[in-house]
Amino acid sequence: MQEILNELIKIKGVIGAFILEKDGTIAANAGKFGTIPIKSMADEIKAFARTPVIDKNLPKWIQFSYQNMIVLILNRANVLIVTLYQPNVEVALIRLTLEVATSKLKK
């Protein structure tokens, strides 16, 4: 999983990324988060994902703005891959990188 994060942070404009296990634990992270509170962000994402309406129907992709950046979450069977990036980054490149990197995990 760390390899996936390392690929993501190579994309210009990606601030950082982390792997969030379903229990709310940050399994791995990469990037330059500076003052971004990733632990409290992880807690908020975990709480959001566990709301009754969403828990059983969590979409594959979730995207929202946070402060001056965009947060993109890829929902995998047992983890959430959270990517933080600047608004001017092409989200398709991030999604493609995630799809290719996670498809390798299946093999």
What pLDDT does residue 43 have? 84
Q: State pLDDT tens for residues 41-93.
A: 888 888 877 665 555 677 889 899 888 899 999 988 778 899 999 999 999 99
What is residue 104's predicted lDDT score, i.e. its pLDDT? 73
CATH of the domain at 61: 3.30.450.30
Q: Where are the beta strands (DSSP E) in 13-97?
A: 14-21, 26-31, 61-66, 69-75, 79-85
Q: Looking at the predicted structure, is the pLDDT value of residue 105 above 70?
A: no
Number of domains in the chain: 1
Residues 6+ apart with CB under 8 A from 26: 18, 19, 20, 38, 39, 42
**Which residue range is the domain that position 73 belongs to?**
2-106
